Structure 1
Amino acid sequence: MTAKYQVSDWDLTQKLGRGMEILNRLREEDIQVGLTPKEEVYREDKVVLYRFMPKVESSLNIPILISYALLNRPSIVDLQEGRSLVANLLNLGLDIYLIDWGYPSRADRWLTLDDYINGYINNCVDVVRARHQLEAINLLGICQGGTFSLCYSSLYPDKVKNLIVMVTPVDFHINEGLLNVWGGCSLGSQALDVDLMVDTLGNIPGDFLNLEFILLKPFQLGIQKYIDLLETIDSEDKLLNFLRMEKWIFDSPDQAGEAYRQFMKDFYQQNKLIKGQVEIGKKRVDLGNIRIPILNIYAEQDHLVPSASSLALEKYIGSEDYTVRSFPVGHIGMYVSSKVQRDLPPTIADWLKVRT
């Protein structure tokens, strides 16, 4: 055991005993995530559009629609009290909607990126536009949802007033980060036989994808965090924080097979987004079509989406109003760091307020 954990056997036994007492009295409802009140305003297939209930009088007359990644649940943006991007934005007077992609079943294996972008996202945007009687709304895309938002803004530039992308991959052939290498940027199409996976499995199991991300940092994500838990296991608040994070990490929906096939081949393996070669349905995505204001937020220590991948966006868009902000955290730290949640929501709100 390292020096960090050099405590007496008696002290360790006492900590573990108190930790077990806490665990024994915790209930499932104590570990819930996504607690900010919200209402369902639209449903299509497995997809649900939510509007979070306003907390204060709105300071902006243009709502924000959040598009998260297909992997994992969007509840990470509303993980817990005090560390909720959604709640903090609501406190600043913003009107927030969120797309919940749901859990694809075997019946959804044929869903494509056309279905997700020209279908679900476009329909959700139209619902919000109609509810507020607006021609265009604000869009906040996170991780893969940011890549989707870039595609959408290129295809429907008149429907997006301002675009915010956060920890969003753009150039998928940045030779940094194991996910890029494993996905195919350095090793070519032989790195991952996507066709074989989809043709064999249909939908890609969420547990497989979750394991893939853990293996990017196997010791830190698979062992170290449980060792570190020994330090805080006798603190109910800290233990609950840990359990909420674990709940979110291992709540991984399966991925619709055809959408996964196109995303991995067109984006990761062939890097078509920056080449202007991605086709969604019958429409070609050209990042140069995006001329609206853009706020690009990235994590400086991101091991999933290298900063260079996100920063490449400036070279390909047509926007003259382009702003970059960064935070000294990793990919998940953007949501759970108390310091980030102190500074990130005002950054978004202040940027939007001068662009209404």
Structure 2
Amino acid sequence: MSKDLFKLFEAMSKTEGPAFAEWTNTMLRYQSDMAKLWLGTALHGEDAADETRDRRFGAEAWDEGIFPILRHSYELTAKAMVDMADKANLPDQEQQKLSFYARVAADNMAPSNFLLTNPEAQQLAKETGGQSLLDGYQNLLADLEKGYISTTDEEAFEVGKNLATTPGSVIFRNELIELIQYEPMTAKTRKAPILIVPPCVNKFYIFDLNEKKSMIRYLLEQGQSVYTIAWRNPGPEMGDHSWDDYIEDGIFEAVKVTSAVSKSNAIDILGWCNGGTMLTAALAVMPKDLKAKLGTATFLSSLIDFSDPGQIKVFIDQPQVEAYNQRLKAEKVAPGRDIANAMAMLHVNESIWNFVVSNYLMGKSPAPFDVLYWNADTSNLPAKWYSYFVEEMYIANKLKKPGALTLCGVPVDTHNIDLPCYFLAADGDHIVPWKTSFTATKLVSGPTEFVLTTGGHVSGTVINHPAKTRRKFWTGGKTGGDADNWHETAKLTDGSWWPHWLDWLDTHNAAERGPKPKALGNKTYTPMDPAPGTYVLEGV
């Protein structure tokens, strides 16, 4: 980060013309505003500092004593830093990195983050006789021991006890995956099963958090037959596992077993996030006899075109990747905690400093929150898998180019995907921008349906239960133009997109409903451990 901030001053020394004039004006405004603040304070006291809209300074304590001027000084300084960074006129990637890290640096120096400059923390310490500081110190020691900041009460949750509780059984296991079949919840079930391909960077049970949020349980309640992959959490001994392994031993095997157990050649397969990207690659190279076992493909917040990968682009360029590769050589895996930390930096106030202030300065314990528990329950990635993903797809953007990649011995061409495809994106997704996701509709050859939901990467997609939802979604826009044209011509509907998707499945993969199976698995694939299985319990 320090190198990126140094580029600001380097660029300032080399820039001439309009950019330099803008910098000069920014500095003059900053100096003028600071002078007015200090002069006003000297003459009028507390009235000199303007009101703030920043929630970090919303408490009454920030309006007393020296704190109004301290807060306003910070706001003026942070704005000047960000404005100057934004006007550095560097090449696109360098400019994005500089602007991003300037904001991170500005957020890091907020007076609310430190005990000596946080009146709320000081006031609470006085009221509790210092107990809040002692509690905060204990919270800090506990987090240092486990290596990350607590964002939820982790003792309140246990996978298989109050998370991932939908009944089912592991019916297949190899070195890489467990395949779980869930028990039907209706007397009759749809004969075309749904097979879920979750991302391998997170645990699959985001699809089955609890009864009120579980997508898997909802599908079962609607008479669907549901299977899901549970990826193993790889250790260093699995560092050489590649995309070929994840496709052949993961997705291909899951399709074979699901088809054999369900006796169906019309599987509705669904992938989310990098699970959707892996599914894209798998379908592009899938043998014809295996593809014949599928009816439709659904992609949630998934990229084929990586030309605009969203905010995470600031972490992905050749110098950063080469530096990280040195760590991969030693550790053999990309630790899930590294990826979680990077995602947290995208919203540093909400995901990091909010908990630092609450946990350590205020001495509070975080409240139970199942989504944050899942988010902290990270999974590693094999070094070989990770490097291929970042270098060949994120940086080189080869997945969308016919023949640019070869997987499982077959040149990758996404136009080989001739199944009906349902693409779902979220308008608040900072990891997979919806407009980039929209480009996938032109990179496959089968009929496509694009749907845009309100919400974020998780909250708009897999956490979108129709009961009491506040979400909305757009459908039916014109797909001949760009994403903006689609959006302008699309219809907005209140509610969750889940029922719309199930209607789409019935339209594009008509399947009868019949008596539910008497038992899970079959003679070849007999039930093993009960859901959620054993792989999901493996830690990092």
Q: Same fold (TM over 0.5)?
A: yes
Alignment counterpart, residue 417 of structure 2, candidates 271, 290, 296 = 290
> For residues 338-353 of structure 1, what are the structure 2 equivalents within 5 Å?
339=469, 340=471, 343-353=496-506
Match of 2:388 in 1: 262
> For residues 60-79 of structure 1, what are the structure 2 equivalents within 5 Å?
60-79=190-209
Higher RCO (Cα < 8 Å, 6 or more apart): 1
Question: Aligned partners of 2:375, 2:224: CA distance in 1, in Å?
Answer: 27
Q: CA deviation at 1:224?
A: 3.6
Cα deviation per residue 1:301-326 (whole Å; 9 max; x = unaligned)? 1001111221110121111x210111
Secondary structure of the residue aligned to 1:192 is helix
Question: Aligned partners of 1:259, 1:336: CA distance in 2, in Å?
Answer: 27
Does the Cα contact within 8 Å between 2:176 and 2:246 map onto a contact in 1? no
Cα deviation per residue 1:248-294 (whole Å; 9 max; x = unaligned)? 11111111111111111111111111112222131121111111100
Q: CA deviation at 1:5?
A: 5.5
Alignment counterpart, residue 169 of structure 1, candidates 300, 303, 306 = 303
Q: CA deviation at 1:225?
A: 6.5
Question: Aligned partners of 1:225, 1:352: CA distance in 2, in Å?
Answer: 42
Alignment counterpart, residue 312 of structure 2, candidates 179, 183, 197 = 179
Question: Aligned partners of 1:64, 1:220: CA distance in 2, in Å?
Answer: 35
Cα deviation per residue 1:22-64 (whole Å; 9 max; x = unaligned)? x99x755498321111211100014100011111134521101
Match of 2:529 in 1: none
Secondary structure of the residue aligned to 2:292 is helix
Q: TM-score, normalised by structure 1?
A: 0.85
Secondary structure of the residue aligned to 1:41 is strand
The range that moved more, 150-159 or 77-86, is: 150-159
Question: Aligned partners of 1:228, 1:87: CA distance in 2, in Å?
Answer: 35
Alignment counterpart, residue 247 of structure 1, candidates 373, 390, 408 = 373
Does the Cα contact within 8 Å between 1:58 and 1:93 map onto a contact in 2? yes
- Which residue identity is paired with 2:431? L
Describe the shift of the 1:110–1:345 C-alpha distance in structure 2 as closer, same or farther (beyond 3 A). same
Alignment counterpart, residue 432 of structure 2, candidates 305, 310, 317 = 305
Q: Which runs of 5+ in 1 are unaligned?
A: 17-22
Alignment counterpart, residue 325 of structure 1, candidates 451, 466, 469 = 451
Describe the shift of the 1:165–1:27 C-alpha distance in structure 2 as closer, same or farther (beyond 3 A). closer
Secondary structure of the residue aligned to 2:418 is coil
Question: Aligned partners of 2:396, 2:158: CA distance in 1, in Å?
Answer: 44
Larger radius of gyration: 2
Q: CA deviation at 1:191?
A: 3.8
Question: Aligned partners of 2:173, 2:200: CA distance in 1, in Å?
Answer: 17
Q: CA deviation at 1:239?
A: 4.1
Q: TM-score, normalised by structure 2?
A: 0.57
Q: CA deviation at 1:218?
A: 1.2
Does the Cα contact within 8 Å between 2:191 and 2:264 map onto a contact in 1? no
- Aligned-residue identity in percent: 23
Cα deviation per residue 1:60-119 (whole Å; 9 max; x = unaligned)? 211011001111111111112211111111111111100000211221111100000022
Describe the shift of the 1:151–1:239 C-alpha distance in structure 2 as closer, same or farther (beyond 3 A). same
Match of 1:36 in 2: 166
Does the Cα contact within 8 Å between 2:425 and 2:434 map onto a contact in 1? yes
Secondary structure of the residue aligned to 1:336 is coil
Secondary structure of the residue aligned to 1:349 is helix
Describe the shift of the 1:307–1:105 C-alpha distance in structure 2 as closer, same or farther (beyond 3 A). same
Question: Aligned partners of 1:332, 1:225: CA distance in 2, in Å?
Answer: 20
Q: CA deviation at 1:136?
A: 3.9
Q: CA deviation at 1:226?
A: 7.6
Match of 1:192 in 2: 321
Match of 1:209 in 2: 339
Question: Aligned partners of 2:231, 2:500: CA distance in 1, in Å?
Answer: 27
Q: Which runs of 5+ in 2 are unaligned?
A: 1-54, 62-119, 133-151, 473-494, 511-540
Cα deviation per residue 1:156-213 (whole Å; 9 max; x = unaligned)? 2333210000011221121x622134223xxxx2242154342232111111111111
Does the Cα contact within 8 Å between 1:60 and 1:353 map onto a contact in 2? no
- Which residue identity is paired with 2:312? L
Match of 2:407 in 1: 280
Q: CA RMSD in A?
A: 3.3
Question: Aligned partners of 1:84, 1:223: CA distance in 2, in Å?
Answer: 30
Q: CA deviation at 1:134?
A: 2.5
- Which residue identity is paired with 1:307? W
